[in-house]
Amino acid sequence: MTTTYDPLDAVYTDEADVRLELARVQDICHECRRCTDFCGSFPTLFDMLDAMTEASAERLTPAQQDHVVSECVHCTLCAVGCPFGSGTHEADVNVPLLMLRARAMQFEHHHLGATGKLAARVLSRPDRIGRLASATPRVANAIISAPRGSRRRRLLARLTGVSPDRHLGSFVAQRFRAWFRARPKVTLHRRQASVALVPTCIVEYQAASIGKDLVKVYERNGVECSVSGVRCCGAPMLHAGDVDAFGKVAAKNISQLAGEIRRGADIVVTQPACAHVLAVDSAAHVSGAEAKADAALVAEHTYDSAGYLMSLHRGDDYVLDTDFEGETHRRITYQASSHVRARGRGYPSRDLMRLTGAQMEVIQQPSGVGGIWSLRTRDDADESVTRALTERIAAGNGTVVASDSYLVGLAVTERSEDVKVLHPLQVIARAYGIPDEA
């Protein structure tokens, strides 16, 4: 048994070693049960062990272990406050990193299965798909907007491994980078900071309106914006277990971002899962003193969109515009991002929206969505986590619902079509009176 979460370790993908470590950690989780409601992995594991006369994770078959791993959507919530966590307990438990290791072992030893292999091949190349879909948006949107579970969606699932039951959003005709290049040059009245924006594949190809509102809000507050050279953070490769491919992307991204930081820009990432991958996960997949130093620099200077504004607002030499003359709300329901929480930076989106005068109702209920890997087809899809979030939102008193994650918004819309989920920067843009370009 080797308790290692280092992807560069020689035994990282050794199957016997990984399975022994899974059994060790799963026995600890079975006794603890703190994370029952976070995702399907833990209820599935506990049901398996509870069915035994004498519960022991060592008695789980490889297929059962793989089933537990398949339910993980890499939201990282189970590491937040874990009583047996790395650095806080000698047991050295870090389930999110262990799930990444188990996924890498499955990928290395070809245990993903047919649909898993398809999903890994398709979802791990979102930039390629996005370029094609945004070039022919009518065709792409006609395919993915077919009713969930329809014949067209079931055929798409067989070809791609993408679930026929998930709302996939739509693709824009004008990509975010194209909009940014074409917009009139803006002269800032008072330049207070400079950022390189990582739009992510989601904002680049699907939710460009989030990026547009972010840029306008930042510029109103004296933050000069450029667009980073980073395309995809590599999360789909990492979550699929393709460690070699992700390592190459991570090294390239770290080098690119470090260069932008040294030229005077902080890094702002529009989606929290991507920010976590760039600032946290990528560091473990690069080697060499120079690359490690670059990774540390990137981790220090990488922010989510609301977090960056609040970090400036709390400083002594920055003035945030709090003159909200547009549409404001008396009460806002906010679903707290798991990846922002995992980085230990509080609730910056809540604090930012609170400046508009709104009462904030914070929902820490997980969404069952940790990234686009959660869009894959699963044999035993458990929707209870997302359904519970939707019920919590419906029971709230907010006049508007906000989440940092676009994918969370899609998941909520799947189950409640009359609920529109906004990004916190979109809430701020409307409060400023900035019109919605969407």
Q: How far apart are CA 186 and CA 196, in angstroms?
A: 16
For 96, residues 6+ apart whose C-beta sits below 8 A from its C-beta are 72, 74, 75, 76, 78, 79, 342
The mean-pLDDT minimum among 35-39, 82-86, 127-131, 375-379 falls in: 375-379
pLDDT at site 399: 82
pLDDT at site 115: 74
Question: Which amino acid, residue 310?
Answer: M
Residue 223 phi, psi (nearest 5) = -105, 115
pLDDT at site 378: 63
In the predicted model, what is the mean pLDDT of residues 316-341? 91
Q: Hey, how many other C-beta atoms are within 10 angstroms of the C-beta on 327? A: 15
pLDDT at site 199: 96
Using 50, 70 and 90 to split pLDDT, how confident is the model at 367? confident
In the predicted model, what is the mean pLDDT of residues 228-240? 92
pLDDT digits (tens, 9 = 90+) for 186-222: 888 888 999 999 999 999 999 999 999 999 999 999 9
pLDDT digits (tens, 9 = 90+) for 113-132: 777 778 888 888 888 889 99
In the predicted model, what is the mean pLDDT of residues 228-238? 93
For 256, residues 6+ apart whose C-beta sits below 8 A from its C-beta are 228, 229, 230
Q: How far apart are CA 75 and CA 273, in angstroms?
A: 8
In the predicted model, what is the mean pLDDT of residues 305-325? 91
pLDDT at site 51: 94
Percent with pLDDT over 70 in the chain: 98
Using 50, 70 and 90 to split pLDDT, how confident is the model at 392? confident
Q: Hey, how many other C-beta atoms are within 10 angstroms of the C-beta on 323? A: 9
Number of H-type helices and E-type strands within the chain: 21, 8
pLDDT at site 380: 42
| String of DSSP letters for 17-73 | HHHHHHHHHHHHHHHH-TTTTT-SHHHHHHHHHHTSSS--GGGS-HHHHHHHHHT--
The larger pLDDT score, comparing residue 271 to residue 343, is at 271
Instruction: Indicate if the pLDDT at residue 3 is higher than 80.
Output: no
From 3.30.300, 2.40.50, 3.40.50, 2.60.120, which CATH number describes the 176-313 domain?
A: 3.40.50
Percent with pLDDT over 90 in the chain: 61
pLDDT at site 4: 86
pLDDT digits (tens, 9 = 90+) for 22-77: 999 999 999 999 888 888 889 999 999 999 999 999 999 999 999 999 888 888 88
Which residue, chain included where needed, has tokens 């998930």? Answer: 166
Instruction: Indicate if the pLDDT at residue 236 is higher than 50.
Output: yes
In the predicted model, what is the mean pLDDT of residues 260-272? 96
What value does the mean pLDDT of the chain take? 90
In the predicted model, what is the mean pLDDT of residues 306-327? 91
- What is the pTM assigned to this prediction? 0.91
What 3-state class would DSSP assign to 437? coil
pLDDT at site 381: 46
pLDDT at site 327: 95
pLDDT digits (tens, 9 = 90+) for 134-170: 999 999 999 888 888 888 888 988 888 888 888 888 9
Which residue, chain included where needed, has tokens 């791993």? Answer: 69
Partners of 114 in the β-ladder: none
Cα-based distances in Å from 42 to 45, 76, 386: 5, 13, 15
In the predicted model, what is the mean pLDDT of residues 7-20? 94
Partners of 225 in the β-ladder: 195
